[in-house]
Amino acid sequence: MTNTVVIDTNTLTIVATIAGATGSLAISPNGDVVYIGALSAIDVVQTATNTVTGTIPVGDAAVAFSPDGTTAYAGAGSVYVIDTSTLAVTTVIPTQFAGALGVTPDGTLLYVGGASLTEPGSIINTQSLQITATFPSGGGILIH
């Protein structure tokens, strides 16, 4: 079993270990929670206590938050739209996902990295939850 360590950035020391939580992670915009994508689910970790307080049944997922923190997006074969107040998956958007996720600063678009240059990435309108375009992508996404 692997774990996630919590590091104090002022002292550069490990201050906690979260058992079983491992994988890609995303920090909510307000810093209150961290979503950690694992093999069978996304673990929801409260940063004040460094404890897992919930799980979302989407495995092996990359995660990104909307700028206001009310929605999270998880990529695991498809894109799963998650209501962060209930931890419920509200929509599943089929894509050829195998890379990373990136939300534009205004929250209107979600970029989804494709598995390779032969499997394009997708651009999703976050209001309509529809794919509006595709682009060549080898996996990673950096929005700026």
Within-domain flag for 20: yes
Within-domain flag for 115: no
Within-domain flag for 121: no
Banded model confidence at residue 21, pLDDT cuts 50, 70, 90: low
pTM, two decimals, is: 0.87
Within-domain flag for 72: yes
Within-domain flag for 58: yes
Say yes or no to pLDDT of 105 above 90.
Answer: yes
Count of the separate structural domains present in the chain: 1
Within-domain flag for 73: yes
Within-domain flag for 77: yes
Within-domain flag for 137: no
Across the range 66-93, mean pLDDT stands at 94
* Domain span at 26: 3-97
DSSP 112: E
Where in 24-120 does DSSP place strands (E)? 25-27, 33-37, 42-46, 51-56, 62-65, 71-76, 78-83, 88-94, 97-103, 109-114
